[in-house]
Structure 1
Amino acid sequence: MILYQVADLKKGLFVERPNRYLAKVSVDGCEELVHVHDPGRLKELLYKGNVCLIRYAAGPKRKTEWDMVAARKGTEYVLVHSGYHRYISEALIQNPEISPFGKIQSLRAEVTNGDSRLDYKLIGEAGRPIWVEVKGCSLSVAGVAKFPDAPTVRGTRHLRSLMAIKASGERAAALIIVLSEADVFEPNWETDPEFSRTFYEALDSGVEIIPVQVLFNAEKGTFNYIKRLPITRPSK
């Protein structure tokens, strides 16, 4: 099922990443500066010589004329543009056939709750609020999707906010968009032990943590809903 589509993508070869938000990409023999929207490490995707897909997005307030959209991993392309998470998640939530929240009456984006700003406040079919935070997961290793790929104090804070909401009697959820091939999901203990401990604490407290696989068809430029993934607990 198609959730979102992007057009006018151009292939290039990754050269280097001077900082988290900037890359150099060789396109038709010319080196272009490209904005990287995802601040994660992305070492398995953004490395010298790898094929990536970029999109022309010049504007008067921009420092670069291109956006990094996806990078090749084996036979697939994985999204590396966090700005698309909003479009993908909103399309998923608003489709009751696949949404983990069923039919909803309304959706508000970027809503403050306490000290945190969460991605969505939904009003469910029964008229009750559902608070949702969205995370994009590009990393997978041996069939296991893992988040985060870099330490995230902000991500841990969001989980604690969801726990507080759940404790107040309202529904709270973390929607994790898994962007590469995987069979299961688990938090990335090696990269961020604090997030991982908080992840299972949130899960056990009743926060709904929902990994959903959405894969990119580079030929058609479509992001396609695949399935919901199970969560594993590592044997430690």
Structure 2
Amino acid sequence: MKYNKKILKAEFISRPNRFNAIVKLNGEEIKVHVPNTGRCREILVPGCTVFLREEPNPTRKTPYDLMAVYKEEKLISIDSQIPNKVVDEALRNQKIKGLEEYTNILREKTFGKSRFDFKISTEEGKEYFLEVKGVTLEEEGYARFPDAPTERGARHLLELVEAKKQGYGAGAMFLIQLEDVNKFSPNDIRDKEFGEALRFAKENGVDIFAYNCIVTEDGIEINQPVEIIL
């Protein structure tokens, strides 16, 4: 998918809080919005190159979103709103192995106490809940999730198990928002409970997907599955 908005290159200076960052654009320091409440400490380091997406909305407090960052030679998308859009496009283009038969796609559907990102179904009426998690934490080609504890994430996995028990299809998609990755695991050091929940979900029939992405300055698209090590 293409962003279809003006993209500008800037230099990252600091992140005073989880919602905003200070960057240097055309020699001027300005405040921009960070559309990702995760820590991102490993990638948002002073002096790194970032890309801003212009958001010309007069009601906004900041004119740009910080949507991608270079970690050495790797371009990483950090916009937490992007993964669902990328997966939606991939589902419609039948690019996710094992889900090609699900041609009816609905967003943000509730099951139990959770709202899942997708409820998809086949022409014959077979239904499937899919939860999407964006992944930005990477080291030497190894991606992990989460980068900070997430009780909500573990709860989603347990709700997927319940959906599976009730006869629905169920899966968790980890969309790795960069290309140069070949392995994925839960980040047990940061959130042991999430890792336990992910393994429990797998043992109980929930599908686990992990795909990397092709990320460019003006767009992002799903690429290929990577090895999952639980």
Distance 2:6 2:57 in 1: 16
Match of 2:84 in 1: 86
1:209-228 superposed Cα distances (whole Å, 9 cap, x missing partner): 1001112022xx23133210
| Alignment TM-score, normalising by the size of structure 1 | 0.92
Distance 2:97 2:35 in 1: 26
Amino acid of the residue matched to residue 133 of structure 1?
E
Q: CA RMSD in A?
A: 1.3
**How many residue pairs end up in the alignment?**
228
Match of 1:112 in 2: 110
1:145-187 superposed Cα distances (whole Å, 9 cap, x missing partner): 1000111111111111101101112100111101122111100
1:65-108 superposed Cα distances (whole Å, 9 cap, x missing partner): 11011000121210011111221110011112445311323111
Matching of residue 158 in structure 1 with residue 156 in structure 2 = yes
Does the CA-based 8 Å contact 2:87-2:222 persist in structure 1? no
Match of 1:16 in 2: 14
1:119-144 superposed Cα distances (whole Å, 9 cap, x missing partner): 01101243211101110001111221
Match of 1:72 in 2: 70
Distance 1:98 1:160 in 2: 23
Distance 2:31 2:15 in 1: 10
Equivalent positions of 1:1-236 (< 5 A) are 4-6=1-3, 7-180=5-178, 181-218=180-217, 221-233=218-230
Task: Give secondary structure in 1 for the equivalent of 2:81.
Answer: helix
Distance 2:124 2:181 in 1: 34
Structure 2: 5+ residue runs without aligned partners?
none
Amino acid of the residue matched to residue 230 of structure 1?
E
Structure 1: 5+ residue runs without aligned partners?
none
| Alignment TM-score, normalising by the size of structure 2 | 0.95
